[in-house]
Amino acid sequence: MILESVEMIRAEQLLTRKTDSPMSDLSANHVGQHARGHLVQQLVAAFADLAESGLFGAAAGDASVRIPGTDCILITPHQLILQQPRPGTFLEIGLDGRVRGKHARPTPDAQVHLAIYRQQSEVAAIVHVHAPFATILGICELPIPPVTVDAMPFGDLPRVSACGLGRSQYAQEVAAQLTEGVPALLLLHHGLTAVGMDLCQAVRRAVGLEQTARILVICHLLNQTPCAAPTEVVEILKHSGYDCF
C-alpha cells in the first residue's frame, strides 16, 4: 500500500516537471492538495503495517513525511493510547516548528523529527516506535552482529539516552547521531527511530531492525552466541553498497 502511494507521488512530480507552461495558482494548489492526500494515505498505511508487525508498545509511537517542494512535514498528532490514526488528524508543521492550519498538539517527539529533517535534507520520512525487542537490545547493551543478511546495515547503530537531557537537547543529540548513511538508531528505554528516502524505506528499516533484535534477544535467552556471517561476506556487501532496506 505504501509503495504504491509513493510511486503515484513520484509519477505526479515527474509530470509537473515536464509541463512547459507554468501552472495557475489554482492548479498548483490542487496538485499540492492531491500530493498531501497521498502522503496521508501512506501514513495511515504505515501505522497499519507497523501494528501488524508488532512494533508498538503501549503507545503507538509516531511517524512523519516531508512534503515535497515545501519546508513542511506531515506528522502524527499527540495521542496517549494505541489507536489507528484517522486521515484528518495528521498535522502540518513547518521546519520552524509552527503548526499550520490546526490548533492541536503534535506528538511529543515532533522536535526530534524536525531536528533530523533540518540536518539531513535527503531524509524524507521518519518512523519512531516503542518496539519491544529493540528496546531490550538497547537497555541490555547487546551488540548487533551480522547474524543475517538483513542485520548487516545495523551493525554500528548509535544508541542515545534521554537521561539528563532536556527535550530540545535530546532532539539535537538524536539528529547528531543520525548522520548520513545511518539507517536507524536505538533509543535507550524508548524503542527505535528509523529514517528513509521515503516512508516505505523507513518502515522497512524499522521492521528489519526489530526482527534482527528479536533474533538476538532469543539467542541471549537461550544462552547461545549467535554465529555471525563471515567477515569477507560482510566486507563484500559493504563495499558493494548493499542495503537490503
Q: What are phi and psi of 46, to 5 degrees?
A: -60, -45
Note the CATH architecture for domain 41-239: 3-Layer(aba) Sandwich (3.40)
SS3 186: strand
Tell me which of 46 and 72 has the higher pLDDT.
72
Range 109-134 average pLDDT: 93
Provide mean pLDDT across the span 225-235: 81
pLDDT digits (tens, 9 = 90+) for 68-119: 989 999 998 776 445 566 667 788 999 999 988 766 777 788 999 999 999 9
Domain ranges of the chain: 41-239
Please answer whether residues 100 and 59 qualify as being in contact, where contact means their C-beta atoms are separated by less than 8 angstroms: no
Mean pLDDT, rounded, for 180-206:
92
- Residue where the block lists cell 539531513: 120
Q: Between 218 and 48, whose confidence is greater?
A: 218
Which of left, alpha, beta for 86 (phi over 0: left; psi -120 to 50: alpha)?
Answer: beta
To which residue does cell 533540518 refer?
118
Q: Which residues pair with 106 in a beta bridge?
A: 77
With cell 538483513, the residue in question is: 150
pTM, full prediction: 0.79
